[in-house]
């Protein structure tokens, strides 16, 4: 039981390049999330998927796209990377309990450190 896995662990891009960050969970969770973490800013939600086949914007969605490929996998794509997207990206998953989105306990992956030159 690996929990939440992310690939790659590190990536360096040039401005304008594209790439996809992969995330998979083996806990049979319905909800999955993508966050970015920048110094002094905490974690900010980019996109989330409450269930297979649905995605919604979070706090900072501009410049990103997501795909909920199946229940296990949720990918994040940068179509044209910019230096402002240099950050650590975390994927998380949770099982939706009764109540609002803040009720869920999220399980996080180890993160992807992305640098855009």
Interacting residues with another protein (CB under 8 A): 4, 33, 35, 40-45, 48, 58-59, 90, 92, 99-103, 105-111
- Whichever of 58 and 63 has its CB closer to another protein, that residue is 58
CB of 11 to another protein, least distance (A): 15
Find out whether 95 and 29 touch, Cβ atoms under 8 Å: yes
Name the strand (E) or helix (H) holding 116: strand 112-116
Residues 6+ apart with CB under 8 A from 98: none
> Whole-number minimum distance, CB 70 to another protein, in Å?
22
CA–CA gap between residue 54 and residue 110 (Å, rounded): 24
In the complex with another protein, the residue whose CB is nearer, 17 or 96, is: 96
């Amino acid at each position: 039981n690996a929990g939440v896995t992310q690939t790659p662990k590190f990536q360096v891009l040039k401005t304008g390049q594209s790439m996809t960050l992969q995330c998979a969970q083996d806990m049979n969770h319905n909800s999955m999330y993508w966050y970015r973490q920048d110094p002094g800013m905490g974690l900010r939600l980019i996109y989330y998927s409450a269930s297979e086949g649905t995605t919604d914007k979070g706090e900072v969605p501009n410049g990103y796209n997501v795909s909920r490929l199946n229940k296990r996998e949720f990918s994040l794509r940068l179509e044209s990377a910019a230096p402002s997207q240099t950050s650590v990206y975390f994927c998380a998953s949770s099982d939706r309990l009764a109540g609002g989105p803040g009720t869920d306990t999220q399980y996080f992956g180890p993160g992807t450190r992305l640098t855009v030159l």
